[in-house]
Amino acid sequence: MSTSEKKINELRPGMRGVNVKVRIDSISEPRSVNLRTGGQAKVADAQVSDETGVIKLSLWDDQINMIEEGDMVVIENGYTHAYRGENNLNIGKYGKLQKI
């Protein structure tokens, strides 16, 4: 992993190109959402942590089945944004989720 790996307590809303190594603590039941572009997608919220803190991670479609609770994962090129006053981590279409 590159030297730009962050810890959860360093993440602020609006960051791009975020690389983190986290543990999957819990994953919510997937729900269907309507996309702005039309069609539907499945999304699940995972609570992830490292030794510095906890953050919510949005998992979409295929990502939901790639991981399970207790897994260690690396997120590359993710981004953060504030949603309802809470900082969230997202993988996005240019990011990568990898189980380690």
* CATH architecture of the domain formed by 5-99: Beta Barrel (2.40)
Query: Residue 2: pLDDT band by 50, 70, 90 thresholds?
Result: very low
pLDDT digits (tens, 9 = 90+) for 45-84: 999 999 999 999 999 999 999 999 999 999 999 999 998 8
The pTM for the full model equals 0.89
Domains in the chain: boundaries: 5-99
CA distance 9 to 51: 9
